[in-house]
Amino acid sequence: MAPSEILVPGDKRLDIAKTKPTKKGLKQVRIHGRGGQGAVTASQLLAIAAFHDGKYCQAFPSFGVERRGAPVEAFVRISDEPIHVREHVYEPDYVIVLDPTLLSSVDVARGVKEDGIIIINSNKPASEFKLGTKAKIETIDMTSVAMEIIGKPFVNVASLGAFAAITNEVTLESIFKAIEQEFAHKKEMGELNKKAAEKLYKMFKGE
């Protein structure tokens, strides 16, 4: 994922009214997916979105050897202050699980803060997930929304809409900007992803 055109603050195309997220301090996010599912792309988009909200950000993959289908982790840090720390994310505030079948092999609750939130792509109620953590579990059916809008089970980008709604750490406007930027050469796909992200956002917000 390497756009040759990068929109920067000040660019008219980014001139959309934006509501500032309200949270302060360093927030850490871990995204669980499978190789090829786009967890790393999602982490990069989330970092770019945070930047458009005026935040500092850092996104990085779990530095594994890429294999399609293998469990993959990607990380994001978001902060109002410059981010210097370079260690892995050990105690995430938020976890996004793109593929619920990972739960049988990966401890997605590993290290998550007690007041953290685990967001799982699932059509089952959160109460069905026993993850041995005090962190809150939220489920949202990302796959159905992706199938309905995109026609394919691409949930990585769309999941950020759910993340924005559930955590208020990033605005939907900025996620849109990040999508437009990264899908500059695949505008149609970008628009479909925006729609899916928006639907998930509104689903959670009850709109």
Nearest approach in angstroms of CB 170 to another protein is: 13
| Residue whose CB is less far from another protein, 4 or 104 | 4
Helix (H) or strand (E) holding 174: helix 172-182
Closest CA to 97 of 60, 141, 53, 51: 141
Residues that bind another protein (CB under 8 A): 2, 4, 6, 8-10, 43-44, 47-48, 51, 56-61, 63, 65, 83-88, 90
Spatial CB neighbours of 72, under 8 Å, sequence gap ≥ 6:
32, 33, 34, 35, 37, 39, 40, 61, 62, 64, 66
Nearest approach in angstroms of CB 90 to another protein is: 8
Q: What angle do CA 62, 145, 107 make, to 5 degrees?
A: 35
| Residue whose CB is less far from another protein, 39 or 137 | 39
Per DSSP bridges, beta strands 56-61 and 136-140 are unpaired
| Residue whose CB is less far from another protein, 40 or 196 | 40
Nearest approach in angstroms of CB 137 to another protein is: 27
Nearest approach in angstroms of CB 157 to another protein is: 15
| Residue whose CB is less far from another protein, 93 or 141 | 93
